[in-house]
Amino acid sequence: MDRVAQRLAARPSQRFRPTGPAPLPAVRFPLECSADCWRRQAYARRARWIELRIVLARTVSRAGPRHGAPLAVMLGIAAAAGAVSGQTWQESVDFAKLKSRLGAALPIGAGGVVSQVEAANQSGLYFIDQSIAEFTAGLDPSGLAVNLVDGSGGGGNGNTAHATNTVGSNFFGNTMSMAPGANSVVVYEVGNWWSNIIRYQGSQEPQAQPYRVQNHSWVGTTNHTGNDQSILRRFDYLIDSGDMTAVVGANNHQVASPQHPNLMVHSYNAIVAGRSDGRHSRGQTNAVYGPGRYRPDLVAPATVTSAATARISSAAALLHQSGAGTDAVRSETMKAVLLAGATKQEYAAFSDPVTGTANPWDRTPTRPLDDALGAGELNVYNSYLIQLGGQHQGAAAPPVEPAAAFGWDYQDHKNDGAIGDVYYDFHVAPGSTAHELSIVLAWNAKVADASGLPNIFSPQESLQNLDLALYDSTNSFLGSLIDQSISAVDNVEHIYVTNLGPGTYTLKVSGAAGWDYGLAWRINTLFDQPSADFNEDGVVDGGDFLAWQRGFGRLVGAARADGDADGDGDVDVDDLAVYQTGVAAQQATAAAGAEFARAINAGGAPGGSFANGVPEPATAGLAAGGMLLWAAYAIRRRLRDRAAA
């Protein structure tokens, strides 16, 4: 143990309470220690085929709850856990889909600095082995090696598999993460971070943490309520004052009623990560700090929470690059964007491996998140689209125009105590159904100095109570209430509605006076009747294919005229499939018409020319085949042009 650990161990009132199946001598510990076992070479080979797959088949639908092998704390193996047998975790969270859509324009987490706070093992080791291929220049998309900075001064003593493989590789590794361009990393040891950064036992203000994302794949407690509260308050202060996205892990558990450890799950302002298979601590925070809030916030596919935490941190780093220079990267907005993008369909028939009972995802007006799965499973594709949709500012009066189907907002009313409700309108067009509407409101607990003395920092938290309400305003503004999220204890509200019909819907944000908040939403719509007649001339033909070709690659805001055949707001191979179906249907109609004409002519129809304007089936088939070959060429050319840009 280091000197900080020795001092804590010498004080019975501050000794860590061991968690897991057996007592552990360390005062703090990683969630698990083993390496991630899936092979990056297999994923790389798979990724190279994505361009070909998109012209051969429609995207395979996600299915089924995740079930990982039961693993004890400190003994977990960080293997990939996918929704479908054979899926990598990147496919489960739709990172592979985002990569195939964006090509060379894919964000890689570049820009700025990220941080990893790591628990030392029993030998006092905590650093990352930067010599492995995940961190060297050879596989890096920018040709740069990871620059690791030791923030605690003991990194030269050695490395650990947990820090290197389970966390670092999944956070910013070249092939195992979603942020291979996050090449500037500061690593801290937990005890040193407490003492010299958080300064939990002193009267000094915490040391600023100028990081885009900070990862905490460890759990613990000082066994002293005052010390735990000091750490949590100071941590929330750093997140809010520095607009840092912090992701912390829940514990691994395989038993009924697993309780959350105090550190760091009880944080208000961090994002608490769990596992997609549900094998983690869950339930409400306790009286130590902000009781009554359900955790985790978000889950990710992994068989240990350390890896799940790192993977959510990786997604946050990617989104920090794509949202750079906007309020989308503020800590409140980033949290809202990640949670609003989460998917729930996987858990419609979820069988809870901890309790052994059916526990499908749900929420209530006073419990914004599921009691075991939070907002659902990380989906980086959805979250990227929310960012891409752009900021749409709410109004203090009835909105003049609706917000885009995907979007976000950040409102700062810290100096405005008079602001009332803030409104946002959403529109579902005639002939469409919104099969999902996901809205998340997030705001931070504010931590301020309560001492009133110079050079003394005595932190105390306060929390505003914000609420969400969704109304049907089709016939009149705020006509009828559809749903609401009105928790009195949380700093997140969540509305999730399915199968909304055509109309205008109004979201009301209440309680923002004197505070700031981040808001994110996505409306996933589909046409009730898909159609590839993009130019609306009554036939599906080459003119419609040209419309699809021109619009191909658009990810949000597409209309039918742009080549969106299914009404989901993008132009992709799913729309091409609808076009193919339309062409095939017209071929069948033409063939039937030709056969009928031949029968009429054989019976002596006047002029014998009834079928002269009907194309032969073979000719129509050749035309359709040529269009599909051109589609494959167009897709490859579009990806090549992006790579050259």
Q: Which two tokens stand for residue 60?
A: 């395979």
DSSP conformation class of 306: H
Lowest mean pLDDT among 14-18, 218-222, 234-238: 14-18
What's the one-letter identity of residue 297? D
- pLDDT value for 63: 27
Phi, psi of 17 (to 5 degrees): -85, 120
pLDDT at residue 465 is higher than 90: yes
* Residue recorded with tokens 């620059």: 147
| Sign of the Cα pseudo-torsion (605, 607, 609, 610, in order) | negative
Which residues are bridge partners to 446 per DSSP?
Answer: 462
DSSP conformation class of 208: P
Output the CA torsion 528→402→496→296 (10° steps): 130
CB 94 within 8 A of CB 102: no
DSSP string, 401-465: SPPPSEEEEEEE-TT-S----EEEEEEE-TTEEEEEEEEEEE-PPEEEE-S-STT---EEEE---
pLDDT at residue 2 is higher than 80: no
pLDDT at residue 315 is higher than 80: yes
Lowest mean pLDDT among 97-106, 381-390, 512-521, 614-623: 614-623
- pLDDT value for 365: 98
Q: Which residues of 262-272 are buried (b: 16+ CB within 10 A; e: fewer)?
A: bbbbbbbbbbb
pLDDT at residue 22 is higher than 50: no
DSSP conformation class of 262: S
Which residues are bridge partners to 521 per DSSP?
Answer: 407, 439
pLDDT at residue 296 is higher than 80: yes
Lowest mean pLDDT among 43-57, 262-276, 297-311: 43-57
* Residue recorded with tokens 């509305």: 495
Q: Indicate the average pLDDT of the chain.
A: 83
- pLDDT value for 637: 55
- pLDDT value for 324: 97
Which residues are bridge partners to 516 per DSSP?
Answer: 412
- pLDDT value for 546: 93
> Which residues 6+ apart lie within 8 Å of 12 measured at CB?
none
- State percent of the chain over pLDDT 90: 70
Output the CA torsion 110→197→171→362 (10° steps): -110
Distance CA 179, CA 314 (A): 5
> Which residues 6+ apart lie within 8 Å of 83 measured at CB?
62, 63, 64, 66, 92, 276, 301, 346, 377
Output the CA torsion 442→62→37→35 (10° steps): 10
Lowest mean pLDDT among 311-315, 536-540, 623-627: 623-627
What mean pLDDT do residues 262-277 have? 96
Phi, psi of 463 (to 5 degrees): -140, 125
pLDDT at residue 632 is higher than 90: no
CA dist list (Å): 61 to 2, 163, 345, 381, 497: 50, 34, 11, 14, 20
- State percent of the chain over pLDDT 70: 77
Three state DSSP letters for 48-74: HCHHHHCCCCCCCCCCCCCCCCCCCCC
- pLDDT value for 601: 67
pLDDT at residue 455 is higher than 60: yes
What mean pLDDT do residues 68-87 have? 36
| Sign of the Cα pseudo-torsion (547, 552, 554, 560, in order) | positive
pLDDT at residue 619 is higher than 60: no
CB 421 within 8 A of CB 477: no
DSSP conformation class of 263: B
pLDDT at residue 643 is higher than 60: no
What mean pLDDT do residues 160-186 have? 98
- pLDDT value for 353: 86
Res. 72 pLDDT band, cuts 50 70 90 = very low
CB 246 within 8 A of CB 216: yes
pLDDT at residue 480 is higher than 50: yes
What mean pLDDT do residues 123-142 have? 96
Distance CA 111, CA 210 (A): 12
Res. 605 pLDDT band, cuts 50 70 90 = very low
Which residues are bridge partners to 377 per DSSP?
Answer: 299, 343
- pLDDT value for 31: 57
Q: Which two tokens stand for residue 30?
A: 């990683």
Q: Which two tokens stand for residue 211?
A: 């990081």
Lowest mean pLDDT among 203-217, 349-363, 586-600, 608-622: 608-622
Name which residue leads in pLDDT, 482 or 69. 482
Q: Which residue in 180, 216, 147, 158 sits closest to 40, CA to CA?
A: 180
Most confident of 182-186, 536-540, 555-559, 585-589: 182-186
Phi, psi of 372 (to 5 degrees): -125, -30
The structure's pTM equals 0.82
Q: Kindly report the number of other CB atoms within 10 A of residue 356's CB atom.
A: 9
Helix (H, G, I), strand (E, B) or coil at 469: strand
Res. 630 pLDDT band, cuts 50 70 90 = low
What mean pLDDT do residues 432-442 have? 97
Distance CA 312, CA 330 (A): 16
- pLDDT value for 41: 34
pLDDT at residue 78 is higher than 90: no
Lowest mean pLDDT among 68-72, 360-364, 449-453, 558-562: 68-72
